[in-house]
Amino acid sequence: MSTFTAIGEDREIDQEEFTPGIEPQATWCPGCGDFGVLKALKGAMPEVGRTPDETLLVTGIGCSGKLSSYFESYGFHSIHGRALPVARAAKLANPGLEVIAAGGDGDGYGIGGNHFMHTARENHDMTYIVFNNEIFGLTKGQTSPTSPKGHESKTQPHGSAKDPVRPMSLSLASGASYVARTAAVNPRQAQEILVEAIQHDGFAHIDFLTQCPTWNKDAKEYVPYTDIQDSDEFDLDTGDRREAAETMYEAESRLYEGEVLTGRFYHDPDRPSYGEEKRAQGDVPEEPVAERYFEDGEWERTADRLIDRHT
């Protein structure tokens, strides 16, 4: 039976398999942090042992949305803010897929904020990478949900009067079971965190700091950065929700004071994923729903099961 032979295939995987022959060279600006995400993701895939054919990468709109063009796998370049609902349904339809969603800070924390909150709450077994450059890059530098208070742009000529979104705090409060922040300038940590996030059985959210040298020249390059796991100042138990919340708050505040705190902030390995919860209560069948359509077998009929109650 060959329905989805790519899923669970056991073989050596080369990082280069994730470079698409059709667009091998990404067209982001020189010095863009997005290159760092692409490189870390390509590096993480062989480590987690998943192939391009069993991976679905769903992206939103923006520079970050182009990730699916420059990363070889099944891809779905969706619409602004809607990567998560597309991705989580694909995971429910076929839990064997490795599902990764990606978008920018405007995409995930602005227009798609409601989906972000609810996907985290449901704890789908997937990875969500948010390219956080504190700006709208593709549309030429408007203020974004993570732009610092006072940020001046063509759409906020007197400076933004809003406090920025706190992405990790929002994620934790919503129910994400793995929350981390990394930076494009720290490729080693980024790849490690991506590996952990992909391996985590639940909703893993990575706030990925991606410097924008074109439209956010004033902003720092996210150097120097501190890994909170290596810092003497923090002795964080990532399984402790209260400690995590405090540390996130600190990191989010200090980012705007010029201090870049990265690392793992929260990790709850025990919370069952949404798929597990649903399967446990009989709401999702044990076998992937998608497989049925390619196999022989009887299909239920309303004539046999439902019409009697109407007679």
Partner 1 sequence: MWRIAGGSGDGIDSTSQNFAKALMRSGLNVFTHRHYPSRIRGGHTYVEVRASNEPVRSRGDGFNFLLALGDSFARSEQDGAYYGNEKVKPLTESLADLNEGGVVLYDTGFFEEADIAEIRLEERAEENGWHVYPMDLRGLAREHGREVMRNTAGVGAAAALLGQDTGYFEELVREAMSGEVMEANLTIFEMAYEQASEFEFSHDLRVPTGGHDTDQALMSGSNAIAYAALDSGCRFIAGYPMTPWTDVFTIMSQNLSEFGGVAEQVEDEIAAASLAIGASHAGVKAMSGSSGGGFALMSEPLGLAEMTETPLVLVEAMRAGPSTGMPTKTEQADLEHVLYTSQGDSNRVVFAPGNLEEAYEQTRTAFQVAYDYQIPAILLYDQKLGGEMRNVDVDFFDREPDPSLGATLTEEEISEAAHHESGKFERYRHDPDDGVSPRSVPGQTGGRFLASGNEHNAVGHISEDPDNRKAQMDRRVRKLERVRAELDDSEHSHQTHHGPADADLGMLAWGSQQDTVFEAVDRLNAAGHEVKALGVSDMLPYPETEVRGFLESVRECVVVEMNATGQFRGLTQKELGQYGEKLASLLKYDGEAFEPGEVVEGFESSIDGGQPAAGNMRFVPAAGD
Write out the residues near partner 1 by the rule CB under 8 A.
2-7, 9, 20-23, 52-56, 58, 61, 66, 68-69, 72-79, 82, 85-90, 92-94, 96-97, 114-115, 117-118, 278, 282-285, 289-290, 292-294, 299-303, 305-307, 310-311
Nearer to partner 1, 116 or 225 (CB): 116
How far apart are CB 231 and partner 1 at their closest, in Å?
A: 37
How far apart are CB 200 and partner 1 at their closest, in Å?
A: 20
How far apart are CB 61 and partner 1 at their closest, in Å?
A: 8
DSSP structural state of residue 163: P
How far apart are CB 57 and partner 1 at their closest, in Å?
A: 9
Nearer to partner 1, 118 or 162 (CB): 118
Nearer to partner 1, 121 or 162 (CB): 121
Nearer to partner 1, 129 or 284 (CB): 284
Distance CA 272, CA 59 (A): 25
How far apart are CB 285 and partner 1 at their closest, in Å?
A: 5
- The tally of CA atoms less than 13 A away on the side-chain side of residue 123 is 21
User: Which structure tokens are listed for 113?
Assistant: 């904020």
The 3-state DSSP class for residue 122 equals: helix
Contacts of 141 (CB under 8 A, 6+ apart): 135, 153, 154, 214, 215, 216
Helices (H) and strands (E) in the chain, counts: 11, 8
How far apart are CB 163 and partner 1 at their closest, in Å?
A: 24
Nearer to partner 1, 2 or 242 (CB): 2
Provide the strand spans (E) within the chain.
55-59, 74-77, 98-104, 126-132, 178-183, 203-209, 225-227, 260-267
Nearer to partner 1, 242 or 305 (CB): 305
Comparing CA positions, the residue from 100, 49, 35 lying closest to residue 74 is 100
**Residue whose structure tokens are 């046999």:** 304
